[in-house]
Amino acid sequence: MDQLTSDKDSLTKHFWQFDEPTSSSFHHQYCLGLNELSLTRIGSVKNILWVQMLDLSHNKLRSVQGLEALQLLACLNLGNNQISSFTALEPLKLLSSLRVLDVSFNMIGAHAIDTTRYLCSSPLSHTLDAKQLDVGYEKENTEVRDHWEVASLFRALRLTQLDIKGNTVLNEKFSALAIELLPSLKWLDGKRVR
């Protein structure tokens, strides 16, 4: 990625601008498509801090470390990568502008043990109950306790659209949990939820 974003000519091939009409004017969205490039890591993002829409789909990414610097990022496509856990998405908690996230067709939930839990220190443990996670439940919720990393990530995000289809973790209970943890969510896997 460093090589792709290091010079203006290389970056220009992947950049486009999207004009979104609003009430009385056009709002410019700065978009960067770095899809289908076999990227394995993010690297330096200092030359793309202005990006609002980023397409990193169809690569070989296992983590999003580095993307937390993109404070204007509103839309992120990570579909068809090799992300295997929600803890690999932890840096996204720092993106207050993020509204649209696509992590479809990754490997989230495919491995019974998430080794990222043990490699990265976390103030959470998998024995936390819903009250400790502050998600508004009256009683302990087994789904929240079993998916503590999801609760930690989702409660920090203000997503309006989430695409997670094609991951092992997805089932009816998980979808209900995602809707509960993301009160601003309007679309889940292309279906309107609110």
133 or 178: which carries more pLDDT confidence? 178
13 CB-contact burial (10 Å; exposed 0-12 / middle 13-18 / buried 19+)? exposed
Which pLDDT score is estimated for 131? Answer: 47
- Given a cut of 50, whether residue 78 has pLDDT beyond it is yes
* In-domain check, residue 60: yes
Most confident range, picked from 107-111, 117-121, 156-160: 156-160
* In-domain check, residue 8: yes
Most confident range, picked from 61-75, 130-144, 146-160: 61-75
Each as own residue / partner, the long-range contacts of residues 71-76 (CB below 8 Å, 24 or more positions apart, any chain) are: 71/95, 71/96, 71/97, 72/30, 72/97, 73/97, 73/98, 74/29, 74/98, 74/99, 74/100, 75/29, 75/99, 75/100, 76/100, 76/101, 76/102
Percent of the chain having pLDDT more than 90?
60
How many other CB atoms are there within 10 angstroms of residue 21's CB atom?
8
* In-domain check, residue 44: yes
Which pLDDT score is estimated for 149? Answer: 87
- Given a cut of 90, whether residue 134 has pLDDT beyond it is no
* In-domain check, residue 36: yes
Q: What total of structural domains would you count in the chain?
A: 1
Helices (H) and strands (E) in the chain, counts: 7, 8
Mean pLDDT of 36-48: 91
Mean pLDDT score of the chain = 81
* In-domain check, residue 128: no
| Cα 186 off chain centre by | 16
Percent of the chain having pLDDT more than 70?
69
Please give the torsion angle defined by the CA atoms of residues 28, 78, 66 and 88, in that order, rounded to the nearest 10 degrees: 140
Strand ranges, E, within the chain: 15-21, 26-33, 53-55, 75-77, 100-102, 161-163, 187-188, 191-192
Q: What is the largest CA-CA distance in the chain?
A: 56
CATH number assigned to the domain comprising residue 78: 3.80.10.10
* In-domain check, residue 141: no
51 or 147: which carries more pLDDT confidence? 51
* In-domain check, residue 9: yes
Which pLDDT score is estimated for 8? Answer: 63
Residue-range definition of the domain harbouring residue 39: 2-112+158-192
pLDDT-based confidence at 127, cuts 50/70/90?
very low
* In-domain check, residue 151: no
